[in-house]
Amino acid sequence: MRAVDIITKKRHGEALTKEEINFFIEGFVNGSIPDYQASALLMAICCNGMDSWEIVDLTLAMANSGKTVDLSPIKGVKVDKHSTGGVGDTTTLITAPLAAACGVPVAKMAGRGLGHTGGTIDKLESIPGFRTDLSMEEFIQSVETVGLAVAGQSKDLVPADKMLYELRDVTGTVDSIPLIASSIMSKKIASGSDAIVLDVKTGSGAFMQSVNDSFLLADAMVKIGVRAGRKVMAVITDMDQPLGTAVGNALEVREAIEVLKNKQHGPLRDLSIYLAAHMLVTAEACGSLEEALNKVKDALETGEALKKLGDMIENQGGDRAVLDDYSLLPSAEHIIPVKAEREGYISSIDTYKVGLSSQLIGAGRSKKEDNIDAAVGLVMYKRLGDQVQKGDILAEFHVNDLNKFDEASKIFMEAIQIRSARSKLRPLVLGLVTKHGIQKFGAVSDMEG
């Protein structure tokens, strides 16, 4: 078997066998297949696609390219929730405690932020003392003791994905559904959870800006999970505006705590409840979505979910006093309001630019090696459809380096479009994908289950 023959076969649009895919991934990881041949195969896949079985075989080959996590010592159906990335998306810090408070063990390995999107690990590390570099023994102990753990991904986990992504990033092959689906699901499968709920974002702040492409990606990932023996479903959600009001690590932690205290309402709270309910259903802890929604809301209102977050923070070395004393979180030196320059209605938000403006003041990375400032970011005061008067505060920027503010605020103002007429808003949840097929929603009320 030769790498060049596999490349040629895919260049002609033919389906690769499981053996060919395994040979190529193994050879690339061990160094016997060079970067230039891997780049050629990535381009052939990007141009000609893969059928559903090829995507499954590619995903499993990547998942088995390094160490895998064995969660079998933990009793019950272990569940994970994964978002494809957005702005102001702090759902993990809310859904994980909610599901754990309902008796479902949550074992999540998360990543750091890159580009305009935030990373769960960065957010948690803004909590004083919080450790995300858990050993496998510590990770399992945390899930067994507390009911949940959120830790950073091991360097030994899915090395093929890291190596392939570095090539995709510089060869123009990032935007490929087979490659995106296999990248995400290889890590989820290697992480060991029995059940997976996928939050697939769509809109101006998502990697998948087309609704149709988001459904295609969700369908591909669900098929991978099912064929790999996992219980998996996907929710398609709107990212045409930041999900929460806060964009930035410590600011998002504070907002998540406020949601768990049942003091803050809005899309972040609504979607977190909805996703947590699907985590319960997917883990077979509830027989219906309605039952799961009631159980999750009860965990929120009684404070059990907040207690679970505190337990996790304490168990992973953090200071649980942060739940009541936000001064323990990093805070910025300057808080600067950005105001509307005309009256009207917020008709559109370029969510990518909102995330970029936060990244520019230090809340995010442009390269994996970059350091971030956990204190900085912005807090939105207006959402899509809101009426504004000239001089109204659109957002407050939390800044340490004033030299970065002018460019960031300019990009933010470019992101907010104010027009004389109110625009029609689309639903927060646009549909579901399960092993039974695709269900598209037409109204917000469909989210209620």
CATH of the domain at 29: 1.20.970.10
Determine the residue type at 25. I
**Residue 359: C-alpha distances to residues 208, 407, 435 (Å):** 20, 11, 37
Evaluate if residue 449 carries a pLDDT over 50.
no
Is 446 contained in some domain?
A: no
Cβ 90 vs Cβ 267: under 8 Å: no
Summarised one tens digit per residue, pLDDT across range 149-205 is: 999 887 788 999 989 988 987 898 888 999 999 999 999 999 999 999 999 999 998
User: Which of 375, 368, 373 is closest to 152 using CA atoms?
Assistant: 368
Q: What pLDDT score was predicted for residue 443?
A: 47
Residues 339 and 405 in one domain: yes
Residues in the chain, how many?
449
Which among 10, 81, 82, 123 is annotated as catalytic?
Answer: 82
Q: What pLDDT score was predicted for residue 155?
A: 79
Note the helical H segments in 261-387: 267-282, 289-301, 304-315, 351-358
Confidence band for 315, pLDDT divided at 50, 70 and 90: very high
- Least confidently predicted of 54-63, 105-114, 219-228, 247-256: 105-114
Which among 116, 123, 168, 353 is annotated as catalytic?
Answer: 168
Residue in this structure with the two tokens 């909805």, named with its chain if needed: 274
Is 347 contained in some domain?
A: yes
Residues 92 and 55 in one domain: no
Residues 407 and 281 in one domain: no
- Our count of domains for the chain comes to 3
Instruction: Name every residue whose Cβ is closer than 8 Å to that of residue 394 and which is 6 or more positions away in sequence.
Output: 338, 339, 340, 380, 381, 382, 388, 412, 413, 416
Gap between the Cα atoms of 341 and 337, Å rounded: 12
Give catalytic status of residue 347 as yes or no: no
Is 447 contained in some domain?
A: no
Give catalytic status of residue 183 as yes or no: yes
Q: What pLDDT score was predicted for residue 446?
A: 38
Which among 116, 187, 353, 398 is annotated as catalytic?
Answer: 187
Summarised one tens digit per residue, pLDDT across range 103-142 is: 999 999 887 766 677 789 999 999 999 999 999 899 999 9
Instruction: Name every residue whose Cβ is closer than 8 Å to that of residue 67 and which is 6 or more positions away in sequence.
Output: 154, 156, 157, 190
Helix then strand then coil, in percent of the chain rounded to 5, is 45, 15, 35
Residues 52 and 89 in one domain: no
Note the helical H segments in 316-438: 351-358, 405-415
Residues 202 and 232 in one domain: yes
Residues 152, 67, 114, 51: is their CA dihedral positive or negative? negative
Q: What pLDDT score was predicted for residue 344?
A: 97
Q: End of a domain among 63, 91, 109?
A: 63
Q: Assign residue 421 a region (left: φ > 0; alpha: ψ between -120 and 50; beta: otherwise).
A: beta
Give catalytic status of residue 307 as yes or no: no
Gap between the Cα atoms of 25 and 300, Å rounded: 44
Question: Which CATH number does the domain housing residue 281 bear?
Answer: 3.40.1030.10
Give catalytic status of residue 422 as yes or no: no
Q: End of a domain among 63, 88, 112?
A: 63
Is 69 contained in some domain?
A: no
Is 127 contained in some domain?
A: yes
Confidence band for 296, pLDDT divided at 50, 70 and 90: very high
Q: What pLDDT score was predicted for residue 207?
A: 81
Is 307 contained in some domain?
A: yes
Residues 432 and 286 in one domain: yes
Q: What pLDDT score was predicted for residue 302?
A: 97
Q: What pLDDT score was predicted for residue 97?
A: 98
Residues 38 and 175 in one domain: no
Residues 321 and 339 in one domain: no
Question: Which CATH number does the domain housing residue 384 bear?
Answer: 3.90.1170.30
Calculate what percentage of the chain has a pLDDT beyond 90. 84
Give catalytic status of residue 2 as yes or no: no
Strand ordering across the sheet containing 344-349: 387-388, 344-349, 416-419
Is 156 contained in some domain?
A: yes
Instruction: Name every residue whose Cβ is closer than 8 Å to that of residue 366 and which is 6 or more positions away in sequence.
Output: 115, 359
Q: What pLDDT score was predicted for residue 110?
A: 84
Q: What pLDDT score was predicted for residue 34?
A: 96
Residue in this structure with the two tokens 């296999």, named with its chain if needed: 182
Residues 290 and 349 in one domain: no
Is 42 contained in some domain?
A: yes
Instruction: Count other Cβ atoms within 10 Å, centred on residue 356.
Output: 22
Average pLDDT, the chain: 93
Residues 25 and 87 in one domain: no
Residues 220 and 319 in one domain: yes
Question: 209 is in which domain, residue-wise?
Answer: 79-325+428-440
Residues 174 and 236 in one domain: yes
Q: What pLDDT score was predicted for residue 113?
A: 66
Which among 122, 161, 240, 350 is annotated as catalytic?
Answer: 161
